[in-house]
Amino acid sequence: MPRFLHTADWQMGRYYSRFDNDDAVALAEARFTAIERLAQLARDERCDAVLVAGDVFDAQTVADRTIRRVFNAMSGFSGPWVMLPGNHDAALAESVWTRARRLNAVPDNVHLALEPGVVELKAQGLAVLAAPLTQRHTHSDLTEHFDHLDTPPELLRVGLAHGSVQGLLAEDIDSANPIAADRAAQANLDYLALGDWHGVKQINARTWYSGTPEPERFRNNEAGVALVVDITGPGAEPDVRRHRIGQFEWVQWREHLNVATDLDELLQRLEELPAPAVVDIRLSGEVDLAGEQKLLHALSVAEARHRSVQCDRSQLSLQPTDEDIAELNADGYLGEVIGELREQQESADDEKAATSRDALAILTSLLRDRIEPASESAGEGQS
Amino acid sequence: MKLQRVRIEQLRQFRQPLEVGELGPGLNLIHGPNESGKSTLVRAIRAAFFERHRSSSVDDLRPWGDSSAAPSVELDFECRGVQWQLRKRFLQQKRCDLQVAGDSYSGEEAEDKLADLLGFQFASRGASQDKHWGIPGLLWVEQGSGQNVHDAVAYAGDHLKSALNSLLGEVASSGGDDVIQKVQSQRAELLTATGKPRGDYARLGEEQKTLVTELAALDERVAHYQSMVDRLGELRQRYQRNEQERPWEAARQSQQEAENRFREIEQWQQEQKQEQQALDDCRQTLELLRRQQQQSQVAARKLTEREQTLAHCKETVNTLQTREEQVTVAQQQARKAYDKARQQVRVAKEQEQRNRLDNDIKQLRLQLETLGKNLEKARAHQAELQETRNQQQANPLDLEALEALRKTQRQLEQERVRSQAISTRLHYALESGQSLTLNGQSLQGEGDELLLEASTLALPGIGELTITPGGDDLARVQRQLERLQESYDNQLKSMKVDSPEQAGKLAEQQAQRKETIQRLEALLASIAPQGVDVLESQQQELTRRLEQLQSEQKVLSEIPGEPVSLTGAEAALELAEQQLSEADGNLQEHSKQLFAATQALENAQTEWQQLKGELDNPERQAAERSLQTQIAETGERATRLQQSVSNRQEQIDEARPQLLQQDMARFKASAEQLERSHQQEALELTSLESKLESQGAEGLEEQREELAARLEHVNRRFTELHRRAEALDLLLSLLQEKRQALTRRLQAPLQKHLNHYLGVLFPKANLDVDDNLMPGQLTRTGQQGQETGDVLELSFGAREQMGLISRLAYADLLQEAGRPTLIILDDTLVHSDRRRLDQMKRILFDAASRHQVLLFTCHPENWQDLGVAPRDLEALKTAN
């Protein structure tokens, strides 16, 4: 009764430009950890093989060190790995794979499916039908030849491919690397392991996207898992289970703040968010001085708990209340300046509004420092 | 604030107490010479307020050489409606006591109360300096520092502003300037004064640019790498295919085939060449033969021609012979006609001559007749003329003498009349029958006698009376009369006439004759202009000629016949002549032609005979037949060869030997090129592989990712700083703008007071006040119209005046704000001219109506017209 692990889209060598250096390094590191976790999982679950459905590497020319580290990280599972080139690491004349081979970095238990065809794992009872990308993009369905590939009848027919299943999403109709949605049925496959979609997604009983093991975008749903597939024998329905691999959840919130309770509700959610996560918040609306202080405080706390917290407040206008102004002792022309900045925040010109908002923040913080020079500064802007 | 009394003791030169009391609420003028103690008094007032009583830095207050002295100052003044009294002693038994409306303060408490009231600070250490003096520093002007108002205003700034604040209410910001300063310093971290990035901000901008460039370079390298990978894939595929297919071998095969084919065609071409040669020979022979044949054909044709010529010549001769008689007859007829025409002409000419002679004779006779008549007339006229001329010459009359005679006659008559007029008139009327005798002449009846000379009147019976006319004139007239009478008679005699009338008649006759002569001469001239003799000779000449013509006429024989027209005869002759000449010509021509034709006939005959003989030769006829056969045979052979050659050429053309040659070259080159490029591809493959290997090891895309991340990071940081810079910029400008607006509001009252005073000095002038309430630009009407300049650029005297005006304005401002004002001027305006000083006095007097002014001077004469009594310090000293 063969059991194998289905994963894809490791995107090794990716660098996270949107984060500060520390966070970016940590997130990149987490991807190596994910491979180790996959190996661990395969061993723990006594999988017969691990199938990687493309985009192991994010680019062809990654550093030698990256290549070596990837294969090193796989050492936890000594069973066979079948790795498929995807669009990011296509099997070109010269590719990351040829380099890996030249570096002697590929262990013997790793099968690189650089050419279309069948990788027979007789001992494991698997015949892996591979449809590697040999160009960066193709517009024909590379899995079509699965229909005509013969495999020994005692072995499971497992397809391994990378691309977009046709008809899944309207926008994918013309996309590169198309894959017919009913390929599993047409090619009489027991299972079709797919890569390219970064969240886990079931197409039909025998066709799955595993998604990436460690999330690297805010958009994908349910990223950060690997699939353990059990199939009792040729023709049997596969039993697919999800296993959490990813360390960091990626959360993106777009919030519009109108009243004080909006902010409270947001801060509540932030507090309850399981750590560690990668958080991206974009705020609009308005907030008073007290609210802003509360927000800054909460963000400061969250930054310490989570891997990364980014908060874009450029659309959030600061609206000090009269009490705020009185408290800040902003008398005379300072009061007038605050008033004017408040008005300018509402300008139709976004840039002007943002500048006014920043100016107001600087002014209020200066004024606050003046009243309570000893108190802890709440910071000046974004974290 | 009104200072009422000052008392000092043991202070500098005033070892003895000096009290200046009863100070007025307005202007107080205190004067004294140099070193009389004016400045000491001022110093004392200052010390009383500004110096801590405990201060050890006031040694200057001590009189010279008296180390035990305890300088003390007492001041009484009224302020805010209450009475203040200050007593202060320095250096020894230091004390400070202040009484305010019954309350007592002492020591530092008292001093601080004063500082708060007047608006100054104490020095934290040492003697009080101008920077501590605040408002009093502005209003109390030390000797020689009146022009420098800027420092004083700066030191008083805060006090002035707080005064203004209280005046305007809570408009100023309590910490505005502080905030502005902080914003400025924060902005200065990011931006230079001119708004250019600096520090981290500038560095990030630079880094951003560098990174963008680097990234672009890296992108290019990645693209290049990728294109090399693509090239490798392509190349490898092609190389393997070529290695299997070996296309250059196929090309070589094709080349060989083309070569074989080409050899075959070359063989054909050889054969073709030989056969073509044979064809050419054959054609040449044929050509020769044909030419021979043509020549014999030409001879035959010529014979025919000659036959024709012969026939033609014969015909010509015949024709000419038949025409001969006709031509001869025509010539004889023409000759006859010609002779007849000539005869006609001769007759016509004779007839014409006779006619002309008849005419001439008739004409001559007429002329002779006329001439005869004229000659007769001329002879008659000539005879008459001769007679008249003879008469004229016989009785000549001198016309001048006649004129002289008439003149003498007129004079004689005039003299006679005159003598009668002056003679004595004797009238007598005698009785009938009675008579008298005068000069022997008897007188009867009645009448008159003129008496020109002594006359004797004999009165019968009585005697004689002699009457003598009186006067000389009568005698002279008498004499003149006698002389004229004598001349008159002589003239008549010489002219042989009896009277002038006769002479007149003779003259008339003479004139008539002259006229007759003239008429006759004219007649004669018209008839015989050359004289009668000439006429006669003409007559003789004509007579002779007539005779001659008549004899000619007789000679001419009388030829009978009709009259013939000469013109007609001549025309007929001419025509006949022409016809004759034509007929002669015809005859001649005909003979010539005939001769020529006969000659030609003979020649033609000979030639024909000759050629005919030749052609009839049998050898020649045999040769011609053989030639004919040869031509036929050779022609046939040429046609055969031609066919064969053209067939083969077609074959060769179809095979396209040129293309085959090209094919050979092409296949050869292709084979070589294919093989060479295959080898090159092998080389390129190796080189590409090694390049990719080495570049792949660099991890370009990962590098790129990293660089992109760095760039993004820098971008983010730069954007943050940029936003912050913009925010700070905006904040700063807003703050400054608002602050300026506020300052302008604050400045307004000060401006009002300033312009109040300024108008006295310079009408319509304006003095700007800057943010710090300092006087700045002065605008006034000068000699060149509006002029603007900084107060600091004015002359010393003018600056001093401006300084004082400013201080008075500040005083007004402070007073409005309810602050105490006391103005102390120590020897001020010494640099002002008389006119300006007068204006300044008006200003000062006006100010003194609101403030107390203490004016110390060593020139009391300058200030006499201020309406206050000057107080002499020397007098005060002695009074104490």
pLDDT in tens, B90-145: 888 888 899 888 888 988 888 888 888 888 888 777 777 778 878 887 788 877 77
Stretch A101-119: mean pLDDT, rounded?
A: 92
Q: Which pLDDT score, from 0 to 100, does residue A132 have?
A: 93
B723 interface with A at CB cutoff 8 Å: yes
B332 to each of A343, B335, B584, B587, B814, how far by Cα in Å?
153, 5, 9, 10, 173
DSSP assignment letter at B857: E
Stretch B242-253: mean pLDDT, rounded?
A: 89
Bridging pattern class, strands A164-165 and B441-444: unpaired
Q: For residue range B252-269, list pLDDT tens digits in order.
A: 999 999 899 899 988 989
Q: Which residues of chain A lie closer than 8 angstroms to B218, CB-CB?
A: none
Q: Which pLDDT score, from 0 to 100, does residue A375 have?
A: 43
- Residue B470: pLDDT above 80? no
Nearest of A366, A314, A316, A312 to residue A337 by alpha carbon: A366
The Cα B748–Cα B767 span in angstroms is 12
Q: Does the interface predicted TM-score (ipTM) exceed 0.85? A: no
Tokens of B520: 């006759």
Place of tokens 């006119």: B835
Q: B442: exposed, middle or buried (C-beta count within 10 Å: 0-12, 13-18, 19+)?
A: exposed
In which element (H, E) is residue B73 found? strand B72-79
Amino acid at B281: D
Q: Which pLDDT score, from 0 to 100, does residue B326 have?
A: 86
Q: By CA distance, what is B221's nearest residue in A?
A: A61
Q: Are residues B733 and A361 in contact, defined by beta-carbon separation less than 8 angstroms?
A: no
Q: Which pLDDT score, from 0 to 100, does residue A171 have?
A: 58
The Cα A56–Cα A48 span in angstroms is 20
Range A105-108 contact pairs with CB under 8 angstroms and sequence separation of 24 or more: A105/A67, A105/A68, A105/A71, A106/A71, A107/A71, A107/A74, A107/A75
- Residue B172: pLDDT above 80? no
Residue B475 vs residue B402, higher pLDDT: B402
HSE, CB side, 13 Å, CA atoms: give it for residue B477: 19
Q: Which pLDDT score, from 0 to 100, does residue A41 have?
A: 93
Mutating which of A11, A12, A14, A15 best tests the B interface, going by the most B Cβ atoms within 10 A? A15
- Residue A82: pLDDT above 90? yes
CA B728 to chain centroid: 61
Please, which residues 131-190 of chain B have a Cβ atom closer than 8 Å to chain A? 170-176, 178-179, 182-183, 186
How does B100-138 read in b/e, with b if 16+ C-beta sit within 10 Å? beeeebeeeebbebbbebbbbbbbeeebbeeebbbbbbb
Number of H helices, E strands in chain B: 18, 20
Q: Which pLDDT score, from 0 to 100, does residue B171 have?
A: 52
Tokens of B509: 């006759």
Q: Under an 8 A CB cutoff, do A63 and B236 touch?
A: no
Q: Which pLDDT score, from 0 to 100, does residue A377 have?
A: 42
Nearest of A100, A135, A134 to residue B699 by alpha carbon: A100
Stretch B362-374: mean pLDDT, rounded?
A: 87
Q: Under an 8 A CB cutoff, do A333 and B172 touch?
A: yes
How does A139-161 read in b/e, with b if 16+ C-beta sit within 10 Å? eebbbeebeebebeeebbbbbbb
Most confident listed range (A108-122, A277-291, B326-340, B792-806): A108-122
Q: Under an 8 A CB cutoff, do B186 and A362 touch?
A: yes
pLDDT band at B793 (very low <50, low <70, confident <90, very high): confident
pLDDT band at B472 (very low <50, low <70, confident <90, very high): low
Nearest of A9, A32, A21 to residue A247 by alpha carbon: A32
Q: For residue range A254-264, list pLDDT tens digits in order.
A: 888 888 888 88
Q: Under an 8 A CB cutoff, do B724 and A329 touch?
A: no
A244 interface with B at CB cutoff 8 Å: no
Q: Which pLDDT score, from 0 to 100, does residue B626 have?
A: 86
- Residue B81: pLDDT above 60? yes
CA A248 to chain centroid: 9
Of B182, B709, B738, the CB nearest to A366: B182
The Cα B338–Cα B388 span in angstroms is 77
- Residue B766: pLDDT above 60? yes
Q: Which residues contact A27 (CB under 8 A, 6 or more apart)?
A: A16, A19, A216, A248, A278, A307, A308
Q: For residue range B628-649, list pLDDT tens digits in order.
A: 888 888 888 889 989 989 998 9
Q: Which pLDDT score, from 0 to 100, does residue B166 have?
A: 67
Residue A111 vs residue B528, higher pLDDT: A111
Of A95, A96, A333, the CB nearest to B738: A333
Range B540-547 contact pairs with CB under 8 angstroms and sequence separation of 24 or more: B542/B364, B542/B367, B542/B368, B542/B371, B543/B368, B545/B364, B546/B361, B546/B364, B546/B365, B546/B368
Please, which residues 11-40 of chain A have a Cβ atom closer than 8 Å to chain B? 13-18, 20-21, 24
Q: Are residues B547 and B366 in contact, defined by beta-carbon separation less than 8 angstroms?
A: no
Q: Which pLDDT score, from 0 to 100, does residue A57 have?
A: 93
Amino acid at B239: Y
Q: What is the three-state SS of chain A?
A: CCEEEEECCCCECCCCCCCCHHHHHHHHHHHHHHHHHHHHHHHHCCCCEEEECCCCECCCCCCHHHHHHHHHHHHHCCCCEEECCCCCCCCCCCCHHHHHHHCCCCCCCEEECCCCEEEEECCCCEEEEEECCCCCCCCCCHHHHHHHCCCCCCCEEEEEEECEECCCCHHHCCCCCEECCCHHHHCCCCEEEEECCCCCEEEECCEEECCCCCCCCCCCCCCCEEEEEECCCCCCCCEEEEEECCCCEEEEEEEEECCHHHHHHHHHHHHHCCCCEEEEEEEEEEECHHHHHHHHHHHHHHHHHCCEEEEEEEEEEECCCHHHHHHCCCCHHHHHHHHHHHHHHCCCCHHHHHHHHHHHHHHHHHHHHHHCCCCCCCCCCCC
- Residue A71: pLDDT above 90? yes
Q: Under an 8 A CB cutoff, do A380 and B724 touch?
A: yes
Considering chain B, what percentage of its residues have pLDDT values greater than 90? 4
Stretch B221-246: mean pLDDT, rounded?
A: 89
B818 to chain A, closest Cα gap in Å: 22
Amino acid at B468: T
Of A62, A93, A334, the CB nearest to B699: A62
Q: Which pLDDT score, from 0 to 100, does residue A32 have?
A: 93
Alpha-carbon Rg for chain B, nearest whole angstrom, is 89
The Cα B339–Cα B344 span in angstroms is 9
Most confident listed range (A221-225, B196-200, B218-222, B298-302): B218-222
Tokens of B262: 């080409």
- Residue A83: pLDDT above 70? yes
Q: Which pLDDT score, from 0 to 100, does residue A380 have?
A: 40
Q: Which pLDDT score, from 0 to 100, does residue B497 have?
A: 81
pLDDT band at B483 (very low <50, low <70, confident <90, very high): confident
Bridging pattern class, strands B455-459 and B435-438: antiparallel
Q: Which pLDDT score, from 0 to 100, does residue A192 have?
A: 93
- Phi, psi (rounded to 5 degrees) for B453: -140, 170
Stretch B330-345: mean pLDDT, rounded?
A: 86
pLDDT band at A301 (very low <50, low <70, confident <90, very high): very high
pLDDT band at A4 (very low <50, low <70, confident <90, very high): very high
A158 to each of A41, A283, B10, how far by Cα in Å?
20, 47, 119
Q: B567: exposed, middle or buried (C-beta count within 10 Å: 0-12, 13-18, 19+)?
A: exposed
Q: Are residues A127 and A156 in contact, defined by beta-carbon separation less than 8 angstroms?
A: yes
- Residue B363: pLDDT above 60? yes
pLDDT band at B210 (very low <50, low <70, confident <90, very high): very high
- Residue A376: pLDDT above 50? no
Tokens of B261: 């084919």
How does A211-220 read in b/e, with b if 16+ C-beta sit within 10 Å? bbbbbbeeeb
CA B831 to chain centroid: 65
Q: Which pLDDT score, from 0 to 100, does residue B125 have?
A: 77
B236 interface with A at CB cutoff 8 Å: yes
Q: For residue range A33-50, list pLDDT tens digits in order.
A: 999 999 999 999 999 999
Q: Are residues B781 and B763 in contact, defined by beta-carbon separation less than 8 angstroms?
A: yes
Q: Helix (H, G, I), strand (E, B), or coil: what is residue B79?
A: strand
The Cα A190–Cα B437 span in angstroms is 230
pLDDT band at B527 (very low <50, low <70, confident <90, very high): confident
pLDDT band at A372 (very low <50, low <70, confident <90, very high): low
B68 to each of B52, B74, B145, how far by Cα in Å?
19, 19, 33
- Residue A167: pLDDT above 80? no
Average pLDDT over chain B, rounded to an integer: 84
- Residue A378: pLDDT above 50? no
The Cα B809–Cα B818 span in angstroms is 14
Q: Which pLDDT score, from 0 to 100, does residue A382 have?
A: 39
Please, which residues 318-377 of chain A have a Cβ atom closer than 8 Å to chain B? 329-337, 340-341, 354-356, 358-359, 361-363, 366-367, 370
Q: pTM for the whole thing?
A: 0.53
Q: Under an 8 A CB cutoff, do B705 and A59 touch?
A: yes
In which element (H, E) is residue B42 found? helix B38-50
Q: Which residues of chain B lie closer than 8 angstroms to A94, CB-CB?
A: 228-229, 232-233, 688-689, 692-693, 696
Stretch B781-797: mean pLDDT, rounded?
A: 80
Average pLDDT over chain A, rounded to an integer: 86
Q: For residue range B3-39, list pLDDT tens digits in order.
A: 899 999 888 888 888 888 888 888 888 888 888 888 8
Tokens of A126: 């698997």
In which element (H, E) is residue B727 found? helix B700-761
